[in-house]
Amino acid sequence: MEEKNFGPVRFIPGVNQGRYPCCHSVYIEGAGVLIDPASDRDRLKRLRDEEGVGAVWLSHWHEDHIAHLDLFEDLPLLMAAADAPPLADLETFLDWYDMDHDQYRDTWREIMLKNFHFRPRRPSGFLEDGQVRDLGGVTVEVKAAPGHTPGSLAFLFREPGVLCLADYDLTPFGPWYGDRYSSIDDTIASAKRLRQIPAKVWLTGHETGVFEQNPGELWDKYLAVIDTRQEKLEDFLAEPRTMEEISEAWIVYGRPREPKDFYWFAEKAIIKKHLQRLDEQGRLARDGERFALQ
């Protein structure tokens, strides 16, 4: 993938098409604002050294969007207040993923330090919904997009008509909403709001990355993944099942994947949200460790 400019807004592609554990970054020329520093470590070093970075903004708190934040420890950091707590402390970070097993926590502690260069950070300031900032050559409007995380943000750069969607990424995998404070319903509502914002270019945090034509039906397909997961789970709960049995059905990922600990945890995280949703709808029965539809 190649870097692309839309006025002063520059798309910086991540390694391997921005697939996890990387993401695409966005750089605002002139202002030196870098959004989501997790694209390509060497490229971001050159950006810092050759063009200059004046501040870092985060769309949300996830590790695949902060992987190279350590390169910019001396710079102002801005993000939504709702997403700030996990960046301040590694144990809080793991808590926000609802990691309640020592096996997961031990593995992820090592991964966060080694692969994602985690260092505790506290924001210098906060970005808020509806806030408008003049970055010199371009005006940006902050858009709250809770659901993926409670403080997920999108950014509308008005003059070039560029809308940065971050992890409302329109990939075939569909939305992620497996964190402690994620929400399926908020994810759906935010995606629908973002879809209605007029733009000329849409930038996402992963895979395709740049859409120079309206994504249109991709929004429908993206949200339909939620319904598909729900329907598969409901079919599977025609008879009582334990969480282990539900996870082994691989409703989210389709098949076992490696490293198993990573995908096993992620599978459970998404499934828990769907079980919670069924429970809130009064449609979930529980008998000991087994779940079923009622």
* CATH architecture group of domain 225-293: Orthogonal Bundle (1.10)
Q: Which CATH superfamily is domain 4-215 in?
A: Ribonuclease Z/Hydroxyacylglutathione hydrolase-like (3.60.15.10)
* Residue appearing with tokens 């600990």: 261
Q: What percent helix, strand, coil does the chain show, rounded to 5? A: 35, 20, 45
CB of 247 closer than 8 Å to CB of 260: no
Q: How many CB atoms lie within 10 A of CB 110?
A: 10
**Nearest-5° Cα angle at 181, 99 to 279:** 90
Rounded Cα distance, 44 and 27, in Å: 10
| Residue extents of the structural domains in the chain | 4-215, 225-293
- What integer pLDDT is reported at residue 101 of this predicted model? 85
Per-block mean pLDDT, blocks of 10 residues, the chain (294 long): 98 98 98 98 98 98 98 98 98 95 90 97 98 97 98 98 98 98 98 98 98 98 98 97 97 92 92 97 95 95
- What integer pLDDT is reported at residue 72 of this predicted model? 98
This prediction's pTM: 0.97
Burial 22-52 (b: 16+ CB within 10 A, else e): bbbbbbbbebbbbbbbbbbbebbeebbeeee
- What integer pLDDT is reported at residue 260 of this predicted model? 83
Q: What confidence tens digit (pLDDT) does each residue in 205-230 have?
A: 999 999 999 999 999 999 999 999 99
- What integer pLDDT is reported at residue 103 of this predicted model? 85
**What totals of helices (H) and strands (E) does the chain contain, helices first?**
9, 16
Separation in Å, CA 144 to CA 79, 99, 111, 148: 11, 26, 29, 11
- What integer pLDDT is reported at residue 239 of this predicted model? 95
